[in-house]
Amino acid sequence: MYLCAGFVEEMRFVAMKLHTRDQAPKEGQQESAEKAWKAWEPTRVGYLRFLAESKEVYETLENIVAEASFPEYARFQNTGLERSAGLSEDIAWMQQEYSLAPVQLSEDGPGRAYSSLLKELARDCPPKFLCHFYNVYFAHTAGGRMIGTKVASMILDSRELQFYKYEGDFRAKLDEVRAQLNAVAEGWTREEKDSCLEETQKSFKYSGGLLRTITE
Which positions touch ligand HEM (CB under 6 A)? 1-2, 12, 15, 19, 23-24, 135, 138-139, 142-143, 146-147, 174, 203-204, 207-208, 211
- Work out how close the CB of 192 gets to ligand HEM at its nearest, in angstroms, rounded to a whole number: 19
Q: Say which amino acid occupies 17.
A: K
Closest-approach residue to ligand HEM (CB) = 143
List all residues 6 or more positions away from 34 whose beta carbon is below 8 Å from its beta carbon.
Answer: none
Closer CB to ligand HEM, 48 or 139, in the complex:
139
In the bound state with ligand HEM, the residue whose beta carbon lies nearer, of 63 and 141, is 141
Percentages helix, strand, coil for the chain, rounded to the nearest 5? Answer: 70, 0, 30
Residue 58 or 204: the one with the smaller Cβ distance to ligand HEM is 204
CB of 102 to ligand HEM, least distance (A): 26
CB of 135 to ligand HEM, least distance (A): 4
Instruction: Say whether 25 sits in a helix, a strand or coil.
Output: coil
Which is closer to ligand HEM, CB of 68 or CB of 150? Answer: 150
Distance between CA 148 and CA 156 in Å, rounded? 10
What is the per-residue burial (b if ≥16 Cβ within 10 Å, else e) of 27-38?
Answer: eeeeeebeeeee
Q: Closest distance between ligand HEM and the C-beta of residue 19, in Å?
A: 5
Shortest Cβ distance from residue 45 to ligand HEM (Å)? 19
Q: How far is the CB of 11 from ligand HEM (least distance, A)?
A: 7
Q: At 7, phi and psi to the nearest 5?
A: -65, -30
Residue 140 is given by DSSP the state I
Q: Are 110 and 213 in contact (CB under 8 A)?
A: yes
Q: 89 or 205, CB closer to ligand HEM? A: 205
- Judged by beta carbon, residue 51 or residue 139, the one nearer ligand HEM is 139
Query: In this structure, how many other beta carbons lie within 10 angstroms of the beta carbon of residue 164?
Result: 18
